[in-house]
A and B are shown apart, each in its own frame.
Chain A
Amino acid sequence: MTELTAQPVTLPARPAKGRAKFLIGGVVMLAAVVYLIVSNIGAQQEYFITVDELEAKQSDLVGRSIRISGAVIGDTIEYDGKTLTFDIVNIPDSAATIEDEGGLAKVLHEAVTNPDAKRVTVILIDQPKPDLLQHEAQAIVTGTLGEDGMFHADELLLKCPTRYQEAVPEQVGG
């Protein structure tokens, strides 16, 4: 019973001093937390780059932690149980632009059918081939650009405008 073990104490008159100590303690703690957050932002930031930008600034980017997104070309997916490679083509990086251009599904479709779109080969080693990796999926890959011009990814996130989102019954399509 901790409440009961509390000592009956006569209040010492020192709230002002106590408050100062509290403020200092609080400020020190907050400073530590701010430092923790800021230093880790510096260390862990992954830049969003489009395939176009990757091409343009190739030399500056080698070795830096970046994240690119693009439309997957189905024919280029190769997997031997160990090495997974596939090509992605450029799509706009902002959600607003994608909306303006008619939504993700349309943007992805146009990207993969455009023969002039910039593309880059993504390589992953010792990773399973994800279920969602298919033609016209949006791949978001995190990793580094290698000297070989390939994008060495260690994380792969896929988004698919599948039939499970935003669709209308095909049976009545026309």
Chain B
Amino acid sequence: MRATPSPAPSDTIALQLDQISKHYGEVRALDDISFELRRGEFLTMLGPSGSGKTTSLRVIAGFVEPTSGRLTIDGRDMTGVAPQKRNIGMMFQDYALFPHMSVVENVAYPLEVRGLSRADRRKRAMEMLEIVGLAHCATRYPKQMSGGQQQRVALARALVFRPDIVLLDEPMAALDKKLRSQMQIEIMHITRQVGATVVSVTHDQEEALVMSDRIAIFKDGRLAQIGTPQDLYRQPNSAFVADFIGEANLLRGQLRQDGADLVLEGPGWQARLPAASAPAIPAGAAPCLVLRPERIGLAEAGSGPNTAQGVIEEKIYLGVEYRLLVRLPDGVVVQLRSRDVARLADLPVGSPITLGWAPEDIVLIPG
């Protein structure tokens, strides 16, 4: 299930992972990971804990040597290259700011290491602090600053030497919820402003959707799917991806060919779409229908193609819309959001209801 991103001219490829695996004894922390990153792109590696996203980040940083596979940065093979020689910036989960150095000393540290003169590194560190909006805090120490401020210092330190790649390890994990959405936008703006190529790691799908050009979804050490947020939402290639990105109803049924159409059906429901537009479903697979809650509406009573019959199990009024849980005959519960407020107001819990959807909103996955 390896996703191959559209081939790009090699001069714009900033990072390439080619069949990277990492084994710890019997455990396969990473299994055959391959993807490419174009210069200036913001990629988020998304997945539950233990899925391999953090190990991938540490492989890119050079803290973990892969068991097999090849990593290249700007075309340079990184095998055996120490982290300090990779020209990578990294923002750690708890920022890892040097507590005994002031903010400006922290930001100037990568420049100090690179042998810039005292005046030059101060100038560039101050410019970077200006960009992250902390120029007025230059002489403070990390412990004197709030979590959000510390994060911006860490970001400044990761960007100040114009690294080829910037890695963000769970960038929002240490922030409270309110600050998160603000910093997501801010980090996105800052990294775009300096033209950085970014690889971020998170288990928060909303954060991935907000910040990324592309998302790589990890599961059990493998790359489940990689693509733009829209691709992943509209064309998930597995139930796992469909469930991980946004809300999804997953209906398992029987597949049959009916003339030029492909029909997937189960108790009380039937989905019909032109066979030409359906993905190739291998024979003997148990295919699965993916329906997004906002793509399901109310239909006229009576069974037909692309409808489902059920009973309202729960009805929640949310002002502009209703959130409905509908139980199908075989007990499967479908959730949907409907703006048909006037009609739904008259339907009590327990009344039968017919749901419908457009053929183009159907996503079939091999299961």
B is bound to A: no
Q: Identify the B interface with A (CB < 8 A).
A: none
Q: Identify the A interface with B (CB < 8 A).
A: none
